[in-house]
């Protein structure tokens, strides 16, 4: 009924029944992943995406185009009100890397203004169209550029099964997944994506949270 115990200061025998485990319980491992959607808001597809995210209590980041935000302001406002992050994806999806730095800054500021007017919040991040970025852009733009680590190529194949397969096989802790909320197959794939990743223990967070 006695056990020998020791630490850095004392050693000796104590009743075994009085021993408690000094090791704190392990904290559960939380795997975070960021789902991102480009090129919206789309009048038909984006509301479906937002509704599905709500159903699964998932948050995402929408990199929106300024002119689309103006056309679909109510949809953008709804997405923001439900806790999704809204990022800047330029005003007209021009290849910013081909423009002067002054023109790039003006484009992003114009888009920021549109988004802030609609949502009440100024974007903190941007994603250059096509992922095309120059060193001058990195040096001159105060917002951090956000690219991605897992490209679904949903814009190319337009196939829900392929989108699900790419994400479920390629998901990793801290991954940034690229999708587009302007294609119906992407919206169709999303419930299966969320179910599969939740089963793998993932939590869906915004870019800022990640």
Catalytic residues: 38, 180
Q: Phi, psi (5° rounding) for residue 59?
A: -110, 150
Non-local CB neighbours of 143 within 8 Å, separated by 6+ positions: 88, 108, 123, 124, 125, 126
State how far the Cα of 207 lies from the Cα of 210, in Å rounded to an integer: 5
* DSSP track, 153-199: -HHHH--HHHHHHHHHHH--TT-EEEEETT-HHHHHHHHHHHHHHHH
**Could you tell me if 56 and 200 are in contact, meaning their C-beta atoms sit under 8 angstroms apart?**
no
**Could you tell me if 115 and 143 are in contact, meaning their C-beta atoms sit under 8 angstroms apart?**
no
């Amino acid at each position: 009924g006695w056990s020998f115990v020791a630490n850095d200061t004392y050693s000796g025998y104590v009743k075994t029944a009085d021993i408690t485990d000094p090791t704190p319980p392990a904290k559960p491992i939380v795997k975070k992943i960021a789902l991102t959607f480009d090129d919206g808001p789309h009048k038909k597809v984006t509301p479906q995406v937002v509704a599905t995210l709500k159903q699964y209590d998932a948050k995402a980041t929408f990199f929106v185009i300024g002119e689309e935000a103006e056309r679909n302001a109510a949809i953008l406002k709804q997405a923001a009100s439900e806790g999704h992050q809204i990022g800047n994806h330029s005003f007209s999806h021009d290849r910013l890397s081909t423009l002067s730095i002054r023109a790039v800054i003006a484009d992003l500021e114009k888009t920021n203004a549109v988004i802030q007017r609609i949502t009440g919040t100024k974007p903190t991040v941007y994603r250059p169209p096509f992922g095309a970025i120059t060193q001058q852009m990195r040096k001159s733009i105060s917002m951090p550029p956000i690219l991605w680590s897992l490209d679904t190529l949903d814009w190319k194949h337009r196939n829900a099964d392929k989108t699900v397969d790419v994400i479920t096989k390629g998901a990793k802790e801290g991954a940034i997944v690229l999708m587009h909320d302007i294609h119906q197959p992407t919206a169709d794939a999303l419930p299966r994506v969320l179910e599969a990743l939740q089963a793998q223990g993932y939590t869906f967070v915004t870019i800022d949270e990640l």
